[in-house]
Chain A
Amino acid sequence: MATGAFRFMASGWIERLYGEPDFFFKFYGFEWVEPLSVAGMYWVYGIIGLSALGIMLGLFYRWSALVFWLSFTYTELTDVTNYLNHYYLVVLLGLLLIFLPAHRRFSLDVWRKPSLRVETVPAWCIYVIMLQVGVVYFFAGFAKLSADWLFRAMPLVVWLPTKADWPLVGTFFAQPWAAYVFSWAGALYDLTIPFLLLGRRTRPWAYAAVVVFHVLTKLLFNIGLFPFIMIFNTLIFFPAAVHERWLGKLGYGSGATGKKMIFPKAQMSLLRTGLIVYFAIQFLLPLRYLCYPGNVLWTEEGYRFAWRVMLVEKVGQAIFTVRDPQTGRQSEVNNLDYLTAYQEKQMAIQPDLILQYAHHLARVYQRDYGIANPEVTVDCFVALNGRASQRLISPNFNLATETDHLMPKPWILPFRQNEIITQR
C-alpha cells in the first residue's frame, strides 16, 4: 500500500482528484468529510505511505495500523466518484489489521522488544482474513450470476475486443465467444476459489489460478494494485508450516521459544462480539439490494460495498435545468462549469450523485444569481451494457426539494426490460 500512496503522489493524481474539482460528492452519512488543500492531501498520502511501511515492517505496528486505517479511509470518504471496490477492501483489511497481532513474530517490533515475540497466534486471527477474502470473492461471483454477465457476456464483450491488438492472444480476444469464456470462467473462479483455497489438495492449484487470474486482470484492465493485493492476501490460506519454511530460507527460522499468543479473556469477548457484528454487516451489506425494487445495476440502490466488480458498462448524459419559480426564467447547466469531466461521467449514471449535484446547483444559483428556491430538473439518459438508452430520472421531479435517504427513491425510473436492442 505504501507503493500505492507513493504512486498517487508521483502520478499527479492528487492534483487531479483534489485540486481540479470545486465540488466533491459525499457518501451518505459522511457529508461532513471535506478534502484538504492539495498540499494537505500530499501530507495525508505521505502519512498513508509511512504508516503502510510501518505495517509492512512491523514497526510500531498498532499505531501504524490505526493511522493507516484512519488516513486511508479519510481519503476514500472525500469524493464518491473515486469509489472503487478494491479501495473499500483496503479499508476493511486495514480495520481488521488494527486488531490482529500481525507484528509478533517477524517484525521490527520484535527486534526492538523481543518479549513481544510469539510463535503462534489463535487460529481466529487467520480465519478472519480468510473469511474477509472469501466474502469478497463469493459475493463478486454471486453478483456475476446475472443474465447480462452469463448470457450476453456483458460487459466483457465490449472490453475484450479493445485488446485485440495484443500479440498472439489478441485475435482470440476479438472472437465473440472469448468474452463468454472469460465471463463463465470468471464467475466460476470467484464462486469457488475461496473453497478451493481451503482444501489442502486443491490449494496449490487454486493458488496458481489466483495468480493467473489476477495477472490477467491486471494486464487487461486498469485496476491498479488490486491484483497484487489479492495475490499476496490469498497466501494466508497456506498453513503456517509453509510460511515458516520460507522464513527459514530467509534466515529467520523458527525459534525455540514456543510461546503462544493468548488474548486476555475480557479482551477476547469484546473482540468476539465485535467480529460477529462486523461479519454480520459484511454478509448483509451486499444483500441489501434485495430490499430495493428493480435492477440494482440500473438504480444503484445497494450497489456500493457489495463487490459488484466489472459488471457494468454504462454511458450516461444528464442535462440539468435550473428554473426560477418567481420569474419563470430557466437555464441549462453546463456541467463542466462545476465538475471535472470524470466527475460528470460518474455523476450521470448514479442517482444519488445526481441528487447531490442538483442540490449543489440549487445552492449555486441561489448564491450567484439570487434565485430563491430554484427548481432543478434533469434530462438523464443512461445506456446499460450495450443497449439503447432509457431515462434514468423522472424529469418531472424538482430534485432541489428531494432529500437523500436510504429508502427507494421515487424519482428513479424503473429499467424497462422489454426495451432491448434486438440483435441477430
Chain B
Amino acid sequence: MTERFDAIVVGAGHNGLVCAALLAKAGKKVLVLEARDEVGGAAVTRPFADGFSVSAGAHLLHQLQPKVMKALGVTVPLTNERLSTVALSGSGEHLFIDDHSVAGASDKDAEAFTEFMGWSDTFARFLNRQLMKPPPRLGSGQRKDTIRLARLGLDLRMLGRADMRDFLQLIGQNIYDELDARFDSELLKGAIALDAVTGTHTGPRSPGSLVTWLYRLCTGGHVSQPAGGLGAVSKALADRAEALGVTIQTGVPVDRIVVDNGRVVGVDTAEGRVSSWKVISNADPKTTVFGLVGARHFESTFVRRVHHLRSKGNVAKLHLGLDALPDVAGLRPEDYGGRFLLAPSADAVERAFNPAKYGRCSSKPVFEVCFPSVSDDSCAPAGKHVLSALVQFAPYDHEGGWTDVARADFLDGSVAALDEAMPGLRERILHSELRTPVDLEAEFGVSGGHWHHGELGLDQFMFVRPVAGAAQYRMPLDGLYLCGAGTHPGGGVTGAPGYNAAQVILERERSR
C-alpha cells in the first residue's frame, strides 16, 4: 500500500464514518481503517446466542442529529420512532412517561412534571445550539474563536435574565435536589434520576448531574429504535460514505500513527504504511495518545491531562434471550415495545452508585431495559424475545477484578433484581450475556469501556473536552485530529463530534 490519502480515519465508529463522509463530500480522498471486521464501533448489531442478536453497545438511538443526516443525505429506518418510557413499580402502579407528560402519577406530580420538562427544555435547547459547532478556544486571540465565544455568550444571554441566572446556578447542581423540590413520587424521581446519570460515573447527588440530564435531552429528548438495531445506522452511514468515495477497510488494525519531525505522516498497519498528512482518530483520547501515537510525541503537560482524563465506565450491558416476554402486571401488550426504567427512587439510584465509588458493584442495580424484538423480529427467532439492559453500577475498576466469580455474582444479582420487577422473567431466560466495562473495552477498544470515551462532567465539557489543548478536535501534533465521543459534545449516536471535526478540518484547509 503506497497510496496517499488526503485523510485517514482510524476507526469506523459512527463518528468516524460521518467525518470521513463529510470530508469525501468536500472532495477529499479518504481512507477509513477499522480494526474489527465490521463497521460501527459501539453502534453495532451482533448475535449473542444462536438466533438472537442485539445492539451490543448503545442499544437505543438518542438521535442522529438532523444536520448530520441532512449534510449526508442519510435516513435511518426506524421500527419505533419514539419509545414510550415506563417507570416500573413493584406494586404494578407504573408511571407512563411521554415527552412532557406522565400518566399514573398524582395530579400534582403530573403538573409538576410538565413544568419541569418545559423548564429543562429551555436549557436543553441552549445546549442543543452548542452541539453542532466546535467550542471556542479560550485565549487564542483569533477572530473566529472570539466570534464563537461571543455567540455562546449571546445564546446564553438570549435565555433571558431569569433563565440565564437559573442556568448559571444549575450548572453545578445535582439532579436529586431539583427533583426533591419538585416531586412527591419516589418512582418518578427515581426514573428521572436514573436517566440523568446513565452512562456516567455519578449518582443523582453528584454535582453536575443536572447538566448530564440536560445533555441527554439536548440531542432530541426522545429515543428511537432503528430497524436492524444500531448496527443498521452504522451500515447506512458506511454505505453513504462509500457512495461519496470513501475507502473503508475493515479487519485492518492500525498499529500506530506515524510521526515524523513533529507531524503526522501516516499510519502503519500489518499490511504496511499508508501515507497521509492528516490522521483523524475515532478512538478515545487515551487510546489515541498512548496506544496509537505514543506519549513521547506530546508535551508532558498534555500527556498528564490525557492520563488523568476520567474515563472509567460504570455501566454493564446485559443481553438476555427469552423464551417469551415477561408478564408484568399493569402493562398492556403494546407497552413492551417501550423503554423501562427500574429505579424505585432517587435514593435507590444513589445507593446503587455508592459502592461503585469504592470499586464495588451495586448490590441492587438500577436498569434501563428494552425488548428490541417486540418491534423488530430480525433479532430473535419467531416467538422468542431479546431483553437488552443497561445495568448500573458496574465499575470498570472492580476491586477484585472482573473475575468469573465477580461476573457470575453480578449477573445473578442483576437477574434477581429484574425478576423481582418482572416476575417470571428468570424462568424464561434461554441465553444470557453480561458485558462489563472491561468487556466493552476489549470489544470496542474504548479505554475504560466508557460510553462517552471520557466522563461527561463539567471538568470535561465543551472548552475542556476531552482536555484543554485538544478541545477543537485538533491535537497538539500537526496533522492529528480527534472525531470520537471523547470530543465535544460527547457520546451517544449523534454524529455531532464527527460532523464538527470535519468542519474544523475543512475550515483549516480553507484558511490556508
- Chain A bound to chain B: no
Q: Identify the B interface with A (CB < 8 A).
A: none
